[in-house]
Structure 1
Amino acid sequence: MPPTILLLGTCDTKLPELLYTKSQIETTNTAVLLMDISRTPTTHPSISIPQTSLLPTSPQTPNLSTLSRAEYITTLTPYAVEKVSTLYKAGQIHGILGLGGSCGTTLATSVMRDALPVGFPKLMVSTMASGDVGAYIGETDISMMYSVVDIAGRNRLLEGVLSNAAGGISGMARSYFSRGSRGEDKGVRIGISMFGVTTPGVTAARERLESVLEGCEVYVFHATGSGGRALERLAREGQIDAVLDLTTTEVADEVVGGVLSAGDERLRAATERNIPRVVSVGACDMVNFGEPESVPVRFREEKRVFHEHNATVTLMRTTKRECADIGVFIAGNLLRGAKEGEAKRTKMILPVRGISMLDLPGQPFQDSEANETLFSTLERELEGSGISVRRDPRDINDPDFAVMVADELVNLIRGG
């Protein structure tokens, strides 16, 4: 059997373009299921999954055509997600392609994000793809293709874009289809969080893990908000088996109001799954902003300690009060969602000499009092929780510290 593409679009407004794309995919000997995510139901023999089949047959089911665009998207999305998730779990689809303007893109990418795991081929042809697409992609691996012209009538230019999209998703689906048939590597998969100011320590820890755990795979996540969200997502999906969370700096941005927050669920997924995890407080000495003028006025008026990392990144040192709040947040999420009575598989290790490159003696963010507040808060909040908290005299980028935390994680993985 050939691989199958799920083609998403609003058939009430874009049926000719969807049918053309379907025909182009089929020229590659790839099957297509066309799913209608319209506001108004459309009937056509080529529509495999009509809009009406997505909704429950109940007197309470709203008529989508009477709703506003925003209400229609909010109402239809969970039903579309449920349907696509069912198709994926049954192994009936091997790639997904969406076509749309702003509304169609919002709905289709929501389905891609919520119904399908990272690694499943996802492509979105959109009029919105030349701008900031962060809201559509989130922490997933959706590929965006700009339609150049509006998806509103066939012409040579648009047909060229759609033909390329058809070829692209067909190739991705064939690769995914073939990869799945070969089976998966059974080596342990480890997620590590890293920032520029913790890179030496993370690199040494990664090399130690790869040398000690034969066949392991190490995934390094840049702690820029989306990186932390991706780490959480993969842990929740079961695509990560253990975590070395050395760099929890995104918590500082969430608590203080920086631009690189990973949200209020950071550190939750590994807790809920209770997978082996070693956590530290790398780069919790800093909050991230853009160019200097982007720093909120209230912080500039407080005459805080700033460091210009580069022309587009300004760092601000966290205070004792903020470090206390960061400690409470970290401890809370290390415990929130844990199953009652289950032995914890998490260790917290605190590098006393410095928590980043900028927090060493003589460096601009060195502040032993703020660090002490962070450390003591974590010790107090986690006391009696079953999570051990240990201080280490070295700094987070010390090679020996990196080897030690890697070995602690290996011990947890092996059941120690």
Structure 2
Amino acid sequence: MTSTPTILLLGTCDTKLPELLYTKSAILAQGPNNVLILDIGRIPSSSSEVDIKQSDLLGAPLLHHDVKQTTTPPPLPPTSGKSKSKEINTLDRDSYIKTLTPYGGSCGTALATGALRDGLPVGFPKLMVSTMASGDVGPYIGETDIAMMYSVVDIAGRNRVLDMVLRNAAGAIAGMGRVCYCQQIKQQEAASIEIEGEDNSEATSTVRIGISMFGVTTPAVTIARKHLESILPGCEVYVFHATGSGGRAMERLISEGQLDAVLDLTTTEIADEVVGGVLSAGPDRLVAATKRDIPRVVSVGACDMVNFGTFDSIPEKFANERLGAQRVFHRHNPTVTLMRTTVEECRDIARVIARNIRDSSRTKVLLPIGGVSMVDIPGQPFWNPDVDEDFFSTLEEELSDSGIEIVKDGRDINHPELAKLAAEMLRDLIKVSR
């Protein structure tokens, strides 16, 4: 490691080099830091102030384009974002950069945040200064921890307002870099010191467990979490809100090796993916744990529902079915409307779950026969045991030749004893895996 943290500035050097240089000076004013500038512009910069040029990433300039021939900006090559991600990831592995900040408009933001999402793990400090940061930043951040700062004015020439924003950004990223750098130093020192006679086995064997949760499965998750912490002393439990981004975040951390086991009680995001709700986590939900084959218990929490926004946002095809009494809806709150899944939809959901978990050898499935959510129990609007039974039998049939054990329990998913059973099933899988 270098003696000071290195901060990497990403920017379109063909249009924003003066602003990048000002930010660099503001970072250096915060204390001892190394600052490098990486060019992600449409047209390669020839400035000696650029530390990492486009040709360093791709082996050749991105473009050979005469800008005088058109008023339309030349498009970025489809490989440029992937190349930048690869380069950033290499710098990270080599302990070269400790924090990273890009800035730009819509194109620069899309390109830079794509590189940050694909090139760096969760926990690596990253700050994006952007003209797009006051709107919907979901497409830029995705399931990662990119911090976004609104530039207030366009990043097109320095002025007092922009300089103030960039100074704040410089202070923020320098602080993030220092914290990250000091933490890595501490970890290296701890790893290099052996304390004679001290048993560190518990500290080095901490199990990191991911649990999926929704509002209608919160009682189950709360009990399961507390029970896991009592029967697996020292375990770390990470709860993910199953809102699409939550599921993607969990999948990402599993892929990055930051989770060791999963209690996937709430697989409702698959219902949204299959039926067309607004909280899908994509078609690969459940796949990361299957590929890593880590200990996992899967249930079907909240698969009785598909999520929409306000009541008037329900797609017309479903609204028409409601008028024809073919659909049951429930207003969860003023901004969330739930739609009950049908027999055919539940069969399709079961097939996707089975497809995405069937190749794992350390997975068990827990089916709550008494109801899969808080509103799927007797007296509640989504209670429909016939539909649930079709769902369960389809899942059993699809997994019949997989070797995956399926446990059927007559209680509903939020029953305290079922939640404890789920935790104990995962505990047993973890112990066998050690």
Instruction: Please classify the TM superposition score into its range, dividing by the shorter chain length.
Output: over 0.9
Q: How many angstroms does 1:64 deviate by?
A: 5.8
Change (3 A) 1:64 1:376: farther
| Helix, strand or coil at the partner of 1:361 | coil
Deviations 1:182-234 (A, max 9, x none): 33963110000000000000000000111111111100000000000000000
Alignment pair present for 1:109 and 2:113: yes
Alignment pair present for 1:43 and 2:59: no
Q: How many angstroms does 1:55 deviate by?
A: 1.1
Alignment pair present for 1:128 and 2:145: no
2:286·2:357 contact (CA, 8 Å) conserved in 1?
A: yes
Change (3 A) 1:345 1:63: same
Q: How many angstroms does 1:301 deviate by?
A: 1.2
Change (3 A) 1:373 1:32: same
Unaligned runs of 5+ in 2: 191-202
Hey, what's the Cα distance between the residues in 2 that align with 1:66 and 1:373?
63
Hey, what's the Cα distance between the residues in 1 that align with 2:269 and 2:74?
31
Alignment pair present for 1:79 and 2:98: no
| Helix, strand or coil at the partner of 1:244 | strand
> Match for residue 299 of structure 1?
318
| Helix, strand or coil at the partner of 1:386 | coil
| Helix, strand or coil at the partner of 1:414 | helix
Hey, what's the Cα distance between the residues in 2 that align with 1:62 and 1:20?
25
Which of 374, 385, 389 is matched with 2:391 structurally? Answer: 374
Hey, what's the Cα distance between the residues in 1 that align with 2:179 and 2:14?
32
Alignment map for 1:383-402 (pairs within 5 Å): 383-402=400-419
When structure 1 is superposed on structure 2, of 68-77 and 46-55 the one drifting more is: 68-77
Q: After TM superposition, which residue ranges in structure 1, 4 or more long, deviate above 6 angstroms? A: none
Alignment pair present for 1:231 and 2:250: yes
Change (3 A) 1:289 1:7: same
Hey, what's the Cα distance between the residues in 2 that align with 1:80 and 1:351?
46
Hey, what's the Cα distance between the residues in 1 that align with 2:401 and 2:353?
16
2:54·2:62 contact (CA, 8 Å) conserved in 1?
A: no
Alignment pair present for 1:159 and 2:163: yes
Hey, what's the Cα distance between the residues in 2 that align with 1:215 and 1:390?
27
> Match for residue 209 of structure 1?
228
| Helix, strand or coil at the partner of 1:415 | helix
TM-score norm. by structure 1 comes to 0.95
Task: Report the residue type matching 1:47 in the other structure.
Answer: V
> Match for residue 304 of structure 2?
285
Deviations 1:86-109 (A, max 9, x none): 000111011010010111101110
TM-score norm. by structure 2 comes to 0.91
Alignment pair present for 1:27 and 2:44: no
Alignment map for 1:47-196 (pairs within 5 Å): 47-57=50-60, 63=63, 65=65, 71-72=75-76, 74-183=78-187, 186=204, 187-196=206-215
1:73·1:103 contact (CA, 8 Å) conserved in 2?
A: no
1:39·1:64 contact (CA, 8 Å) conserved in 2?
A: no
Hey, what's the Cα distance between the residues in 2 that align with 1:116 and 1:105?
16
> Match for residue 276 of structure 1?
295
Task: Report the residue type matching 2:13 in the other structure.
Answer: C
2:42·2:62 contact (CA, 8 Å) conserved in 1?
A: no
Deviations 1:326-361 (A, max 9, x none): 0000000113xx4xxxx7000001000010000001
Which of 327, 348, 360 is matched with 1:325 structurally? Answer: 348
Q: How many angstroms does 1:382 deviate by?
A: 0.5
Task: Report the residue type matching 2:210 in the other structure.
Answer: G
When structure 1 is superposed on structure 2, of 128-137 and 66-75 the one drifting more is: 66-75
> Match for residue 358 of structure 1?
375
Unaligned runs of 5+ in 1: none
Task: Report the residue type matching 1:63 in the other structure.
Answer: L
Which of 343, 347, 364 is matched with 2:364 structurally? Answer: 347
Change (3 A) 1:353 1:64: farther
> Match for residue 6 of structure 1?
8
Change (3 A) 1:109 1:413: same
Which of 271, 292, 310 is matched with 2:333 structurally? Answer: 310
2:55·2:62 contact (CA, 8 Å) conserved in 1?
A: no
Hey, what's the Cα distance between the residues in 1 that align with 2:332 and 2:269?
16
Number of equivalent positions: 407
2:209·2:260 contact (CA, 8 Å) conserved in 1?
A: yes
When structure 1 is superposed on structure 2, of 298-307 and 284-293 the one drifting more is: 298-307
Hey, what's the Cα distance between the residues in 2 that align with 1:72 and 1:264?
28
Task: Report the residue type matching 2:27 in the other structure.
Answer: I
Deviations 1:110-155 (A, max 9, x none): 0100000000001000000000010000000000000000000011
Q: How many angstroms does 1:71 deviate by?
A: 3.6
Hey, what's the Cα distance between the residues in 2 that align with 1:407 and 1:64?
62
Hey, what's the Cα distance between the residues in 1 that align with 2:75 and 2:344?
42
Task: Report the residue type matching 1:12 in the other structure.
Answer: D
| Helix, strand or coil at the partner of 1:74 | coil
Change (3 A) 1:192 1:306: same
Hey, what's the Cα distance between the residues in 2 that align with 1:69 and 1:54?
21
Task: Report the residue type matching 2:371 in the other structure.
Answer: G
Hey, what's the Cα distance between the residues in 1 that align with 2:153 and 2:210?
40
1:73·1:107 contact (CA, 8 Å) conserved in 2?
A: no
